[in-house]
Amino acid sequence: MYGTCLWLRAVRNLPGLGTAPLMRRFLHNLIRLRGKPSADRQLTLFAEQTDRVLEEPTAPPSPPPRPASSAVTKQPTTAQQRYDALVVEMKDRYGLRVRKWRSNTTGCAWAVTYTDGSRSRLIEAPYPKGPVSAAVFLHEVGHHAIGLGAVRPRCLEEYRAWQWSLLQMEAHGIDVTSRLKKRVVESLHYAVSKAARRGLKRLPVELAGFVDRHAIGTPGHIDALIDGLMSNARTVPSLVG
């Protein structure tokens, strides 16, 4: 008993044993060592166990949990997501129904009037996946936007529909590429040639530059025709309103 008191006095001054967890382990070891045959042996075993306790590294406190952020990180919008949103917007705005998504860059627009007086606006067009397909899709929507059959002659309606399409491309931040410009010019040349074959007497002045196919293909002429088309579009209230 006297030896136990000496141990208690000696260990009490050891650094780190003033804390409650280490003191409990100290008393636990002391109780286990009671009844051993040799006091010296007890002291040796106890010292070895105490050294191990003092050498055990203290685990760093775990960091507090991060509070859940209320703001959702917004992912950047891809080009295809913008085209998808464009399709939804146009269908909702003009009440359109797409009868068929075409695999090429052609399209058509028409309307069906039913016996009850209701009217369906329909189009066929390529699904927008790039500037050209998006422009053709918007061109067909444009026929309904400006009024299907409201512009005469038919070749002038084609011209207005392309103007509306390119204005929408500009408003939605879609590039008007060189390939697209060529596609527009060729389409309008075809519309003028078709009107001439059907006996058109007077060609609208806006379409005069699309008559000569050879002139259309000269360097810089396509850009000049598209610039003129866009400049004229901004003067037509039904297109910019």
Segment 149-182, tens digit of pLDDT: 999 999 999 999 999 999 999 999 999 999 999 9
CA-nearest of 185, 190, 188, 187 to 217 is: 185
Per-residue tokens: 110: 């028409």
Helices 20-33/39-55 angle, 10° precision: 150
Work out the pLDDT band at 54, boundaries 50, 70, 90.
Answer: very low
Can you tell me which residue has the tokens 């909702």? 92
State whether the Cα torsion 225-229-230-235 is positive or negative. positive
Cβ–Cβ < 8 Å for 147, 120:
no
**The most confident of 18-27, 47-56, 82-91, by mean pLDDT:** 82-91
Q: Averaged over 187-216, what is the pLDDT?
A: 92
Residue 136 burial (CB count, 10 A): 24
Taking the CA atoms of residue 147, residue 149, residue 152 and residue 155 in that order, the dihedral angle to the nearest 10 degrees is 100
Cβ–Cβ < 8 Å for 90, 141:
yes
Overall residue count recorded for the chain in this entry: 241
Helix (H) or strand (E) segment spanning residue 121: strand 119-126
Average pLDDT over the chain, rounded to an integer: 82
Residue of higher predicted confidence among 60 and 205: 205
pLDDT value at residue 49: 54
Helices 131-146/79-94 angle, 10° precision: 10
Cα 198 to Cα 137: distance, rounded to the nearest angstrom: 26
Cα 12 to Cα 18: distance, rounded to the nearest angstrom: 7
Give the predicted TM-score (pTM) of the model: 0.69
In eight-state DSSP terms, residue 34 is T
> Computed over its alpha carbons, how large is the radius of gyration of the chain?
42
* pLDDT for 120 beyond 70: yes
Cα 105 to Cα 125: distance, rounded to the nearest angstrom: 7
For 98-106, the CB contacts below 8 A with 24+ separation are: 98/122, 98/123, 98/124, 98/125, 99/123, 99/124, 100/124, 101/125, 101/126, 101/127, 102/126, 105/132, 105/133, 105/136, 105/183, 106/136
